[in-house]
Amino acid sequence: MHTVDIIMKKREGHALSQEEIKYLIENYTLGKIPDYQISALLMAIYFKGMNDEEAKDLANAMAHSGDMIDLSSIEGIKVDKHSTGGVGDKVTLILGPLLASVGAKFAKMSGRGLGHTGGTIDKLESIPGYNVELKVEDFMKQVKDIGIAIVGQTGDVAPADKKLYALRDVTATVDIIPLIASSIMSKKLASGADAIVLDVKVGHGAFMKTLEEAEKLAKLMVEIGRLSGRKMTAILTGMDEPLGHKIGNGLEIYEAIETLHGKGPKDLVDVTVEIGAHLLGDANIEKDFNQAKILLHQALNDGRAYHKFIELVKVQGGDTNVIKQPELLLSKKLEYVYAKESGYIEDINALEMGKAAMRLGAGRETKEDQIYMEVGIDLHHKIGSKVEKGDVLATLYVRDKGIEEAKNLILNALTIGQHQKEVVLIKKTIK
């Protein structure tokens, strides 16, 4: 088998076989195929595309390029979720303890944030002592013992994907749906869960800007998972405004704790419970979707989910005092953004809100950037809210970085007009 022949085959628009894809990924991971040949292949894929079978084969080849986590020794159906990334998206922090508190096994490997979207691992690291790096055997034992573990992705999970993504990043081949789908699913398949819900964000603050793009990506990822033997669901959720009110690592832990006390914002609770109800059905814990939602609301309101979160933090070495006193996670230095006119919030550009938080130090522009865990934004009003001139639109938790730039970004992100609009949060479900 010769790499140049495979490149030529894709250049001419033909589908690659499972054996050809496996050959490419294995040898590229081992350094036997140079970057310039894979770059040519990526550009051929960019223009000629891949069919579902090719995308499935690519995801599996990348998954098998490193460790495949085998969770079969853990009793029951193991569940996981993945979000394509958004502003204020702290669903995993609530969903994991919530599901574990009603008997599900939640085995989650999460990533770090880059750009305007926050990473679950960064958020958890705002809890002093929380250990995001567990050995695979410890990860599995913890899921067995308490029903939940949330850790960072190990360097040995889907190494081919990391190598390929770095090359895509510098060859302008990131934004093609088969490559996005196979990249995401390679990590999900390697992580070992039996049932996966994908939260595909769509809107200003998402990577998928249109419903059509998001639906195409969601359908392909569901198909890849199903062809690989997983139970799959995708929900398309809006990201035209931030999820919840708080943006920033410590602030999002704070809001997650509020939600686990049964006092969370409606949009955050709705998305979390929607995802959770699908996973309870897949795990054979509660097959009736509406009853599953009721069960999850009860676990949020009666303290079960909150106590499971404390258990998770304690087992992974975190300081539970900050869970009981979450204000310790927040900067004491505050700034405010005021409304310059009266009316209704008609639009919030979530991307610009994410950038504002990043300017304060809550996110990374490059992988080397330091994150300040205690800074961020508390957005007091969402789309549809009525405001008066002079009202506080947002409280900024700050250090000495990017304050005026963040204020300007927030003011420009908010559109105040005379029409009261409603947001449709859950746009579509794909099974």
Whether 357 and 376 have beta carbons less than 8 Å apart is answered as yes
Tell me which DSSP letter residue 327 carries: G
Catalytically annotated residue among 65, 182, 183, 191: 183
- Provide the 3-class DSSP secondary structure of residue 241: coil
Tell me which DSSP letter residue 248 carries: S
What gap in Å lies between CA 319 and CA 171, rounded to an integer?
43
Whether 331 and 374 have beta carbons less than 8 Å apart is answered as yes
Six-digit token string for 82: 């993945």
Mean pLDDT, residues 309-324 = 97
Catalytically annotated residue among 56, 78, 108, 187: 187
Whether 261 and 98 have beta carbons less than 8 Å apart is answered as no
pLDDT tens digits, residue range 369-427? 788 999 999 999 999 999 999 999 999 999 999 999 999 999 999 999 999 999 999 99
Neighbouring C-beta atoms of residue 184, cutoff 10 Å: 21
Residue 183 annotated in active site = yes
Catalytically annotated residue among 56, 64, 82, 359: 82
Whether 180 and 198 have beta carbons less than 8 Å apart is answered as no
Catalytically annotated residue among 80, 89, 122, 161: 161
Residue for token pair 């392909």:
220
Q: What is the mean pLDDT of the chain?
A: 94
Whether 162 and 47 have beta carbons less than 8 Å apart is answered as no
What is the length of the chain?
431
Catalytically annotated residue among 105, 116, 168, 278: 168
What gap in Å lies between CA 292 and CA 383, rounded to an integer?
29
The whole-number pLDDT of residue 111 equals: 76
pLDDT tens digits, residue range 156-205? 889 999 899 889 989 999 889 999 999 999 999 999 999 999 999 999 88
What gap in Å lies between CA 15 and CA 1, rounded to an integer?
16
Beta pairing class for 376-379 and 246-247 = antiparallel
The whole-number pLDDT of residue 3 equals: 97
Residue 161 annotated in active site = yes
Pick the more confident residue, 371 or 154. 371
What gap in Å lies between CA 368 and CA 7, rounded to an integer?
34
- CA distances from residue 186 to 64, 111, 122, 182, 252 in whole angstroms, order as listed: 8, 14, 22, 6, 28
Six-digit token string for 269: 């609770």
Q: Is the pLDDT of residue 365 over 80?
A: no
- CA distances from residue 393 to 245, 329, 411 in whole angstroms, order as listed: 11, 22, 9
pLDDT bucket at 269, cuts 50 / 70 / 90? very high
The whole-number pLDDT of residue 113 equals: 65
Q: Which amino acid is at 329?
A: L
Backbone φ and ψ of 143, nearest 5°: -60, -40
- The neighbouring-strand residues paired with 343 are 387
Whether 278 and 80 have beta carbons less than 8 Å apart is answered as no
Pick the more confident residue, 38 or 240. 38
Mean pLDDT, residues 221-231 = 95
CA angle 89, 132, 108 (to 5 degrees): 55
Q: Can you list the positions of beta strands (E) in 172-320?
A: 195-202, 231-238, 246-247
Whether 322 and 128 have beta carbons less than 8 Å apart is answered as yes
Residue 187 annotated in active site = yes
The whole-number pLDDT of residue 199 equals: 97
Tell me which DSSP letter residue 108 carries: E
Residues 6+ apart with CB under 8 A from 266: none
Whether 372 and 246 have beta carbons less than 8 Å apart is answered as no
Ordered domains of the chain (ranges, CATH): 3-49 (1.20.970.10), 78-324 (3.40.1030.10), 331-417 (3.90.1170.30)
Whether 384 and 422 have beta carbons less than 8 Å apart is answered as yes
pLDDT tens digits, residue range 109-145? 887 765 566 689 989 999 999 999 999 899 999 999 9
Mean pLDDT, residues 327-332 = 96
- CA distances from residue 39 to 34, 49, 206, 425 in whole angstroms, order as listed: 9, 15, 26, 38
Residue for token pair 């079969």:
72
